[in-house]
């Protein structure tokens, strides 16, 4: 139930051609430690470039974050991506809102995120393809750090 369908070291290392070939047309992207470092607003150039090329290839993107600050809005607007904040991942409600935004059947949608117990579990609960990335940095919310401990126990093959 909990294993991701795919691992990727970083969001920007995820080959868009491969996703396309496997039928993926839409992506639900996590924000903190997937797209930007935790609590920061600076987006790395490689991630900006990856998002741009995904958009150019016709992928539909939506950002799904448990964070509810203005930062989510600001980053999403800067990248030209719709967003669902305050998502309460892994609960399905936020994922369902994100799916409605994408307007794609579930089999064409993948979730990309750095956390097993929010991004991957939530995606799985909704029947979506799930991709687990490495967190951009070790710094994270204190509660997340507790979950990371269990992630390491459950996914010794992650690295
Ligand atoms: Mg995250």
Buried b / exposed e along 118-143 (16+ C-beta atoms within 10 A): bbbbbbbebebbbbbbbbbeeebeee
Q: How far is the CA of 34 from the centre of ligand 1 (A)?
A: 5
Q: What pLDDT is stored for residue 32 in this prediction?
A: 94
Residue 10 predicted with pLDDT over 70: yes
With cut-offs at 50, 70 and 90, classify the pLDDT of residue 2: confident
Predicted confidence band of residue 104 (pLDDT cuts 50, 70, 90): very high
6-154 belongs to CATH 3.10.310.10: no
The pLDDT score that the predictor gives to residue 138 is 82
Round to whole Å and give the CA distance between 26 and 105.
9
Q: How many helices (H) and strands (E) does the chain have?
A: 6, 6
Measured in Å, residue 63 CA sits from the centre of ligand 1 at: 11
- Report DSSP state, residue 147: H
- Tell me the CA–centroid distance for residue 66 and ligand 1, in Å: 8
* pLDDT single digits (tens) 112-143: 999 999 999 999 999 999 999 999 988 888 88
How much is the pLDDT for 40? 86
Alpha carbon 83 to chain centroid, angstroms:
11
Question: Who has greater pLDDT, 20 or 140?
Answer: 20
Q: Return mean pLDDT, the chain.
A: 93
CA 57 to ligand 1 center in whole angstroms: 25
pLDDT reported for residue 159: 60
Distance 142 CA to ligand 1 centre (A): 13
CB 106 within 8 A of CB 126: yes
The burial of 4, by beta-carbon neighbours within 10 Å (0-12 exposed, 13-18 middle, 19 or more buried), is given as: buried
Residue 36 has pLDDT above 90, yes or no: yes
pLDDT at 15 over 90: yes
> Running DSSP on this structure, what letter comes out for residue 130?
E
Q: The whole model's pTM is what?
A: 0.93
Kindly list the domain boundaries of the chain, sorted by start residue: 6-154
Tell me how far the alpha carbon of residue 105 lies from the centroid of ligand 1, in angstroms: 24
pLDDT of residue 39: 83
The mean pLDDT of 30-39, rounded to a whole number, is 93
């Amino acid at each position: 139930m909990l294993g991701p369908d795919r691992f990727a070291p970083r969001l920007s290392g995820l080959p868009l051609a491969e996703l396309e070939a496997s039928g993926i047309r839409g992506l639900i992207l996590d924000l903190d430690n997937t797209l930007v470092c935790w609590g920061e607003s600076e987006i790395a150039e490689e991630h900006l470039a990856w998002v741009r090329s995904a958009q150019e290839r016709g992928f539909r993107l939506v950002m799904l974050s448990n964070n509810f600050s203005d930062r989510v809005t600001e980053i999403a607007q800067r990248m030209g991506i719709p967003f669902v904040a305050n998502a309460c991942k892994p609960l399905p409600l936020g994922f369902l809102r994100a799916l409605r935004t994408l307007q794609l059947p579930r089999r064409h949608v993948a979730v990309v995120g750095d956390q097993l117990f929010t991004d991957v579990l939530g995606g799985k609960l909704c029947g979506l393809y799930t991709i687990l990335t490495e967190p951009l940095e070790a710094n994270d919310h204190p509660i997340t750090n507790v979950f990371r401990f269990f992630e390491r126990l459950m996914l010794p093959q992650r690295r």
